[in-house]
Amino acid sequence: MAGGVALADVEAPTLVQPLGAASAQATPPASSGRGGRIARMGVAFVAGAALVAGGFGVAQLTQDDLATTDAPVVEVSAPPSESAQSEDAGAGPSSSASPPPVAGELEPAAFVAQILGPSVVQVETDLGLGSGVVFRDGLVMTNQHVIADSSQIQIRTSDGRTFETTLVGSDARNDIAVLRVADGANLPVAQLSPDAPVVGQFTVAIGSPFQLQQTVTSGIVSALNRPVPNQVGGYNAMLQTDTAINPGNSGGALADRAGRVIGINTSIRTDGTSNSNVGIGFAVPISTALNVADRILAGEALDPGVLGVSGSTRDGQVGVLVEEVTSGGAAEAAGLQSGDRILTVNGAPVTTFDELAGLVQSNFSGDTVELVVERDGQSEPIILTAVLN
């Protein structure tokens, strides 16, 4: 990767290579038309009925095209009892005292569908359609691009009920928004996984692709900490999955075999010519999504974290070689020096500068990150703690 790209300015457009204009049929978000570094490849958000090939467009439905029904969309089992909800996941009251299904009695994907399905909702706006996850009592998490520029937002539950919502807040950089549902909805709350995901683990996605509510697909975690361009010109460290996600899945759940949410489905890689799923999807890790949601609910600032370095991997060695340290920045304060090689950020391996950018930019100003650094003359790597600017 080319060096000289400074993490001192996390929103610098030089972090993303343009891949052409968004489709004229789409309503793109701000700073659209950006994608990855592979020729004719693009990353498209999955919020509407069609993807925009080769760019960061958000194809949205018109209200006339939004086919909905007041009848139940699918038959689902009762949500898990209140005692089965995890307190650590911020669980709220359940709408039923019926016991949940037992793992081993059903196929893994069927088990997840019954456990998690009632907590995944369809998000309907005056501009389009997406998905959402009830992550706390009366609160729904979705993608920012699902509700962007909308004047009306409602949710539809798995049994066909609709509820008006209010937007609590959103973060375009991490593509997370929080909706508050009217009192009395009594929606079942999803369990959120406290465990770090593992490459190769089983996954299930639930959402509303192409307006098909409560669609369930399965796959695996394909990779961790993939640097994916975001809406504001930076990078985010994302989960990669081969679980099929399509337009309308945005904001929906990516879960483990226990039915615990590990990510919020957000975008897919396209080949620049086709709008279909090609087996490469991306989800915001639930740890990141929950951190964003908590900051929104607390009214805290969402300013991105800044490390303050430039570097490269041009020498073919492991890690990112630091070429310059910004004066007065977080890296300098932590003791990072030109010539150091950053090996990991918070335990995650760094193999490209884009990965370093994604891992740093998924944090906020004031957050602390731990860097494992190789320094000439040292027999063992050193550990530095940086408080991001």
CB contact burial 28-54 (16+ within 10 A = b; e otherwise): bbebbbbbbeeeebbbbbbbbbbbbbb
Per-residue model confidence as pLDDT tens digits over 47-85: 553 322 223 333 322 233 333 333 333 333 333 333 334
Mean pLDDT of 240-258: 97
pLDDT band at 8 (very low <50, low <70, confident <90, very high): very low
Mean pLDDT of 248-259: 97
pLDDT over threshold 70, residue 23: no
- Please state the pTM of the whole predicted model: 0.76
Mean pLDDT of 336-357: 94
Structure-model confidence comparison of residues 32 and 233, the more confident one: 233
pLDDT over threshold 90, residue 315: no
pLDDT over threshold 80, residue 251: yes
Among 52-61, 191-200, 242-251, 252-261, name the one with the lowest average pLDDT.
Answer: 52-61
Mean pLDDT of 294-317: 92
Per-residue model confidence as pLDDT tens digits over 273-303: 766 688 999 999 999 999 999 999 999 999 9
- Which CATH number is correct for 65-181, 2.40.10.10, 3.40.50.300, 3.40.50.720, 1.10.10.10? 2.40.10.10
pLDDT band at 106 (very low <50, low <70, confident <90, very high): confident
Domain ranges of the chain: 1-18+303-389, 65-181
Per-residue model confidence as pLDDT tens digits over 118-166: 999 999 999 999 999 999 999 999 999 999 999 999 999 999 999 999 9
Give the pLDDT of residue 277.
82
The fraction of the chain above a pLDDT of 70, given in percent, is 73
pLDDT band at 224 (very low <50, low <70, confident <90, very high): very high
pLDDT band at 36 (very low <50, low <70, confident <90, very high): very low
Q: Which residues contact 311 (CB under 8 A, 6 or more apart)?
A: 3, 320, 321, 322, 323, 324, 342, 353, 356
CATH number of 1-18+303-389: 2.30.42.10
Mean pLDDT of 333-355: 94
pLDDT band at 104 (very low <50, low <70, confident <90, very high): low
pLDDT band at 255 (very low <50, low <70, confident <90, very high): very high
pLDDT band at 201 (very low <50, low <70, confident <90, very high): very high
CA 118 to chain centre: 21
**Active-site residue set:** 145, 175, 250
Structure-model confidence comparison of residues 87 and 318, the more confident one: 318
Give the pLDDT of residue 168.
97
Token pair for residue 368? Answer: 């602390």
N-term to C-term CA, the chain: 24
Structure-model confidence comparison of residues 247 and 41, the more confident one: 247
Mean per-residue pLDDT of the chain: 79
Give the pLDDT of residue 154.
97
The fraction of the chain above a pLDDT of 90, given in percent, is 65
Judge contact between 126 and 66, C-beta under 8 A: no
Q: Distances in Å between the alpha carbon of 174 and those of 56, 122, 232?
A: 14, 20, 9
pLDDT band at 207 (very low <50, low <70, confident <90, very high): very high
pLDDT over threshold 90, residue 25: no
CB contact burial 126-163 (16+ within 10 A = b; e otherwise): ebbbbbbbbbbbbbbbbbbbbbbeeeebbbbbbeeeeb
